[in-house]
Structure formats: C-alpha cells, structure tokens
Amino acid sequence: MFNNHEETELNCYVRIINAYLNKEQEPEKTEIWKNRALIYLMRMLDKKRSDLQVRNALILLITLFEDIPPDLFNNRGTNIKKLSKKEKENMLLNLKQEFLPN
C-alpha cells in the first residue's frame, strides 16, 4: 500500500484488509504497520492526492483496527436485565405510549 504511489484504490483496500486478517498472527508487526499506514495516509491528505480514496482508506483502517464503540449511545442506558419488574413495566408502558398510535 505504501510503496508505490501509482497503486490502485482496490489494491490499497485489499492491503488494509489483509493486514487486518493477519493481525492475530503478528500483533506487534501489525500495530507498527497500522501506525505507519495512518501516518502515510494523513500525509497523503496534505498532498491533496486522491482525497476521497485517502479518506475512505482511513475510514476502513480505523474501523477495522480501532476498538471504538459504534456510537455515543452504545455504552449508555440501563441494562434491561438489571431492572426490577416494576421498572421494566414502566419502561414498556413508556415505549408503548411513545411508539404506538393513540
């Protein structure tokens, strides 16, 4: 991905995916590769080369390799299994009032 400047977009994505698939075999080398890839891609943004391709590669790299929750609400709220029976009933009543037609 990071040797040939004329590399195709598909080849770039394939290299990211292959690195991800092999991350369990050599985690230290994969982490170094990932960090170098991020640095390279960020530098490519500065050079204005194929901006959309670079942004897509960054998104793919971060999505695959970083342990980031999918959104803000992923870790919020209350686990329904920890609610009492009364709390569950109240929650269901509120949901019905909110989503069911009158």
Domain that holds residue 47: 9-65
pLDDT (tens digit, 9 = 90+) per residue, 57-91?
Answer: 999 999 999 877 666 666 777 788 888 999 999 98
Residue 96 in any domain: the answer is: no
Residue 77 in any domain: the answer is: no
When comparing pLDDT for 2 and 32, which is higher? Answer: 32
Residue 14 in any domain: the answer is: yes
Number of structural domains in the chain: 1
Contact 90, 46 (CB under 8 A): no
Contact 1, 16 (CB under 8 A): yes
- pTM of the full predicted structure? 0.60
The answer to whether the Cα torsion of 32, 38, 44, 50 is positive or negative is: positive
Residue 91 in any domain: the answer is: no
Residue 94 in any domain: the answer is: no
Residue 57 in any domain: the answer is: yes
pLDDT (tens digit, 9 = 90+) per residue, 12-25?
Answer: 899 999 999 988 89
Residue 33 in any domain: the answer is: yes
Residue 89 in any domain: the answer is: no
